[in-house]
Amino acid sequence: TCSFSRSPKGFPKLKNDTFLRAARGEETEHTPVWCMRQAGRYLPEFRETRAAQDFFATCRSPKLCCELTLQPLRRFPLDAAIIFSDILVVPQALGMEVVMVPGKGPTFTEPLKEVEDLLKLRQKVDVTAELGYVFQAITLTRHSLEGRVPLIGFSGAPWTLMSYMIEGGGSSTMAKAKSWLYRHPKASHQLLRLLADVITDYLVGQVAAGAQALQLFESHAGHLGPEQFEDFALPYIRDIAQAVKSKLKEEALPLVPMIIFAKDAHYALRDLAHAGYEVVGLDWTIRPQEARAQTGKDVTLQGNLDPCALYAPKEKIGELVKKMLEAFGTQRYIANLGHGLYPDMNPEHVGAFVEAVHTHSRHINKH
């Protein structure tokens, strides 16, 4: 159960810092591993906890977020926890209404249609007032973890959030959002800048609340080509890393490692490696050796097993993991999937993945 103490200080001492050491480029005995969407619908206990509640009501309950964050750690020896939340809490903080529609996913009741709609957004967001429930969930979870593993906080990146706010939900083309980039570049930058500022404060607030690492999800990077990515995504990704770090220094908060995950942005790996993040996350469509060659020696890589590999028999998962570890090398590396877990996955196969990373990486390190 999750017990809550008001003061965010006095956190339990961290017992397993393998993930943080790998993120900072220090040597590790085994390769750390965690899974995107590890707190999720593939666990029966997750479905049970979530059953009675609206999705975003769950996000606003620190107690439930804590419980859902801890569930996978009770089953698997993962090396990190990631707070249960959603990237769309940021557009909500800007005053937009988002509902979770069964079978359809997150849906904005009134997406941005015209440039004038930007005026409806809150121009100054007090993140503690609007997103304090996430900070409470982080503090509560950090205590409840009892130092077992580090806790990761996260946010969506500006372009990904902008695309949702204009599309009003998921889309296979992002044509409405991309049309803004071509037709309204000035308004697009205005919106992206507003988002970047809120995200910066939000991430700093997460560290103040107890997050020990941060991940920025640019999940819709693949909808942009290299030029648009360079104009509308990369500058804000860079700014966020820089602004978060300088604010953490100013507020005498810990300088936590930051991870950038830009899905399908192969063309930008070199730039992302120099964007101010300690870790670059990779999706499953890139060869590990190629990613290493492009990102150089100074960043840690995270990824990138195809999530669908977890449908394979357990022995096969072990083989794929071994191959992945040999390709990336066991150091300066955090094992993960190339995207999130799917709801119909077998928890035992997730366990096999985690175990294979630990076993094979220890073996490779010994020999």
What is the mean predicted confidence (pLDDT) over 295-316?
Answer: 98
pLDDT digits (tens, 9 = 90+) for 70-115: 999 999 999 999 999 999 999 999 999 999 998 899 999 999 999 9
Is 164 one of the catalytic residues? yes
Is 41 one of the catalytic residues? yes
> What backbone torsions phi and psi does residue 9 show, to the nearest 5 degrees?
-80, 180
pLDDT digits (tens, 9 = 90+) for 252-283: 999 999 999 999 999 999 999 999 999 999 99
Tokens of 41: 């619908």
Rounded Cα gap, residues 41 and 290, in angstroms = 33
Annotated active-site residue in 41, 75, 193, 362 = 41
**pTM of the predicted model as reported, rounded to 2 decimal places:** 0.97
Q: What domains sit in the chain, N to C, each tagged with a CATH number?
A: 32-309+327-340 (3.20.20.210)
Cα torsion 118, 119, 124, 129: sign: negative
- pLDDT, position 7: 45
Q: Tokens 């083309």: give the residue.
A: 173
Is 21 one of the catalytic residues? no
Q: pLDDT at residue 6 above 80?
A: no
Tell me the pLDDT band of 8, cut-offs 50, 70 and 90: low
Annotated active-site residue in 21, 24, 75, 86 = 86
Annotated active-site residue in 37, 142, 238, 332 = 37
- pLDDT, position 1: 56
Annotated active-site residue in 17, 42, 50, 60 = 50
Question: Quick one: what percent of the chain has pLDDT higher than 70?
Answer: 98
Question: Quick one: what percent of the chain has pLDDT higher than 90?
Answer: 96
Is 231 one of the catalytic residues? no
Annotated active-site residue in 42, 164, 202, 333 = 164
For 211, residues 6+ apart whose C-beta sits below 8 A from its C-beta are: 83, 138, 142, 151, 152, 153, 256
- Identify the DSSP state of 1: -
- pLDDT, position 52: 80
Is 236 one of the catalytic residues? no
> What backbone torsions phi and psi does residue 358 show, to the nearest 5 degrees?
-65, -50
Q: pLDDT at residue 331 above 70?
A: yes
